[in-house]
Structure 1
């Protein structure tokens, strides 16, 4: 349903890394891809991450995905290598800061998160199948979970200690009103116009939207929740879908909306467009912006040397 930007395709571990650009790349230091405040990042650490993420990209986008050239003139492989290096750099820096802040991750927390993922994927067999299909070892998955939990704890601690005044939030709202509107919508997605018209007739006859969504929508991810897509802002969904959804009144059901994935019927459940309804969201957003700024400052103040040349580095 959402448009996918391939450079933002991998969520775990790469989010913070992608806000930085590689700078000062040099060759040398055999066995290392970078040094962070004197601490080395080995080629083994880099290749372990790179090979896993490369396989995931190829699984999702096809075997030739690595050679695709983006708008920046670089291949996906070059960009991925740069992002992996920056990911590893940030992991070192955040881990160092977390130690100073007395933040740690226990084995019990990792196991609990492992159990959550296992349950979410439908049990141990399905989870093992996921790891096997993506050529991910349990050790690698656990280590990345540990890093992810540490990042989250570091972020949560920072945000809990950061205060945003109502005046600051009001000022941000006044300057960004249009971009801050949030709506909560449900949809029913079908393949043909004929199917959609029949569903509209049933809705007009009084049948419940959520029941028809569960039974008939081909978007199975939302169908199980009665078509619920949750809250979202502009830019989150396909443009034709958004144009209609954001112009509906609360409680209103749309006519058929054609997009590249089929025909939608949209039901608008809620809209938040005033300062009072958006205040908590704005407070959280401003805290997150301050956190990203603190991470950027952490990166720019560190002594970092990058030795990886993404074009010449080892390929498998």
Structure 2
């Protein structure tokens, strides 16, 4: 199912299609996919892996670096080729977006990037041009429109859904935790990161709070007193139950490694410095009645991937 993961990142990965290198790694019905596109895609996917639950990439990084690079290279090239195949089909079916739709998507993308300054700076290092980005958003929306049009024409029976669920229960297993945190924010009122000097002092404050916890002070009382996350702070820092997908991966990558009742060391995310207390871990399989929409979408995604693979077989692809 790893290709579904990459298709869900099209909006981010599509930023890589700048550059006009004469060196290309493949052609799709005569359209070149350049070495520059591949190299920029690699940078963006690796940067994105720090901010989304990109399980395949993160797991691959645990392997030998050389093998990881080879494996990821194949995936990226495959993605770029298949995106081009789908885009060409979308154009043939007149599924390109209006200028208004492109502008709305652009504003949403910029707003999202501005909310995470570190991520924005990493993405900007790829030298994105606004005019070209607008053209790429057009391509991205066309691909999404094609996918939606394809899936809207598929009928899935209740029997097929139930059979899929019973044969793939591991896909509906929920791993979640309940945790509390104390946040010392490093963002100002305009959501910009404070100066290095201020960050240093804020980290010292977080370390002092951690020492108080070590010395037996109540985590809940300290959260109410110090946490800049006022919503959870008034409840002793309690965040309730959540999965890896429901919080920032910078945060969950640390939290999910904790044992029950363990308190983390101070760690940093895009929001500031955190101290986390893990209350409980639990695992269960969702009941069919509670995940029917997810079952249906999984089936649709798999049928779509099979369709794209067939389109790729029929296309004139050279590498």
TM-score normalised by structure 1 residue count:
0.59
Q: What is the Cα deviation at residue 135 of structure 1? A: 2.1
Report the equivalent of 2:85. 93
Question: Counterparts of 1:243 and 1:75 in 2: how far apart (Å)?
Answer: 26
Report the equivalent of 1:206. none
Of residues 41, 48, 53, the one that matches 1:53 is 41
Q: What is the Cα deviation at residue 132 of structure 1? A: 4.1
Taking a change above 3 Å as real, the CA distance of residues 140 and 50 of structure 1, as seen in their structure-2 partners, is farther
Aligned length in residues: 252
For the 8 Å contact 2:179–2:276, the answer to whether it is kept is: no
For the 8 Å contact 2:261–2:280, the answer to whether it is kept is: no
Deviations 1:42-71 (A, max 9, x none): xxx51442453355478789xxxxxx9964
Report the equivalent of 2:190. none
For the 8 Å contact 1:187–1:265, the answer to whether it is kept is: yes
* SS, match of residue 121 in structure 1: helix
Q: What is the Cα deviation at residue 87 of structure 1? A: 3.7
For the 8 Å contact 1:214–1:227, the answer to whether it is kept is: no
Tell me whether 1:277 sits opposite 2:290 in the alignment: yes
Give unpaired runs (5+ residues) of structure 1.
1-6, 17-29, 62-67, 204-208, 218-222, 245-253, 307-316
Report the equivalent of 2:218. 198
Tell me whether 1:241 sits opposite 2:256 in the alignment: yes
For the 8 Å contact 2:13–2:45, the answer to whether it is kept is: no
Taking a change above 3 Å as real, the CA distance of residues 228 and 147 of structure 1, as seen in their structure-2 partners, is farther
Report the equivalent of 2:167. 175
Taking a change above 3 Å as real, the CA distance of residues 116 and 199 of structure 1, as seen in their structure-2 partners, is same
Taking a change above 3 Å as real, the CA distance of residues 128 and 287 of structure 1, as seen in their structure-2 partners, is closer
Report the equivalent of 2:103. 111
Deviations 1:277-307 (A, max 9, x none): 111110111111111111111112223221x
* SS, match of residue 34 in structure 1: strand
Deviations 1:222-264 (A, max 9, x none): x9xx57756859xx965983897xxxxxxxxx63366996643
Of residues 141, 144, 150, the one that matches 1:152 is 144
Q: How does 1:215-254 map to 2 (within 5 A)?
A: 229=242, 232=245, 241=256
Question: Counterparts of 1:268 and 1:210 in 2: how far apart (Å)?
Answer: 24
